[in-house]
Amino acid sequence: MIFNKEFKNRWFKFSLVEQMANIGAEIGRAINWNKKSKKEGVAFFERGLELLDLTIEDPKNRKRLKELLRVREALSDYFCFDNIYGSSDEKWNNYFYCFNYVANLNRF
């Protein structure tokens, strides 16, 4: 999906923690929907990757590129390839939960 400039500018205003929490929500949906409908699961996974790609593109995240690219690689491996990193639904949910928790703390 190609994001319009307005969406991209709005996304770049989010902190890295908020961006990762939103990506985690999409990956969580992918995990849950994979059990019900592969087609829907794939759609949520692809949306998560698109948001991750925008996060990688965000200039403020330049110092975090190594981690962000590793997350992208491991997610792709888990959802599309042989899972050589030994990921699991639980591990991905735990990884993204931390970002969600901190993002919610910053709201109050």
Can you give the pTM of this predicted structure? 0.93
The answer to whether the CB of 59 falls within 8 A of the CB of 9 is: no
CA-wise closest residue to 24 among 47, 54, 43, 2: 47
Residue pLDDT, tens place only, 21-71 = 999 999 999 999 988 988 899 999 999 999 999 999 999 999 999 999 999
The answer to whether the CB of 11 falls within 8 A of the CB of 19 is: yes
